[in-house]
Amino acid sequence: MARSSTGRRAAAAAKTSAGNRRRNRMWLGGAGAAAVALLVAVVAVSVYSGDSGSSASSGGNQADGVVENFSFTLFQGEKALGAEKMEMAQLLGKPIVLNFWAGQCPPCRAEMPDLQRFYDGFKDDVTLLGIDVGQFTGLGTRRDAQNLLKELGITYPAGYTGDDSVVRKYEVLGMPTTVFINADGTVFETWSGGLNLKILERLSMALLKQAEQQQVPS
């Protein structure tokens, strides 16, 4: 009789343990997934705020820190830049803020109003150009990009390129990625992640200050 009672208690304990394991699996599939989603959302917000954006001061794969040339076609901004189809090399001679973005990229959408405000204040001193790379990153089509520009009322020069090597050459490791370029084509700084107006102004003022210091007296 003692052995039978012990066997019943062992069976009950095993049943309880199995139930606990099932409940744990259910939590991992439900609340656990929600926790992961929340973590992703927190990271996205912190990137846009500039807390988790990262910067590097050199061009990496770009030889000697000089930007690689590539051709692009503008969605808008032909009047500001002078043509619809252009090459990056044609923009040299003036500091450049080159922003890689996509039509279905939430952090890209979040930073675009600040990019517009930056453009309105700095367009006489700095060339701002947005290049859609959604087709290379899985973050939207050209139509998605055009629709986003229209939806947000963006007017700064923006277009696309058919050269998929720009993602590697410009080290687009996160979306969006923004490259601050000196007038001579050397990379001043690369920022991976969302930007806000304060960071844009700070980096651009430093870029312009360096340009002044590099000018050779006549």
Enumerate the H helices of the chain as residue ranges.
2-29, 31-49, 78-81, 106-122, 134-137, 142-152, 166-169, 197-214
Q: What pTM did the predictor assign?
A: 0.73
Q: Percentage of the chain with pLDDT > 70?
A: 68
Q: Is the pLDDT of residue 21 over 80?
A: no
Q: Is the pLDDT of residue 79 over 60?
A: yes
What are 139-196's pLDDT values in tens digits? 999 999 999 999 999 999 999 999 999 999 999 999 999 999 999 999 999 999 999 9
- Rounded Cα distance between 118 and 124, Å, is 11
Residue 96 backbone dihedrals phi, psi, to 5 degrees: -125, 140
What pLDDT was estimated at residue 94? 94
CB of 173 within 8 A of CB of 191? no
What are 87-102's pLDDT values in tens digits? 999 999 999 999 999 9
Residue with tokens 């050397």: 186
Q: Which two tokens stand for residue 52?
A: 């988790």
Whether a cis peptide bond, with omega within 30° of 0, leads into 113 is no
Q: Percentage of the chain with pLDDT > 90?
A: 65
- Across the chain, mean pLDDT equals 80
At 13, the pLDDT band (50, 70, 90 cuts) reads low
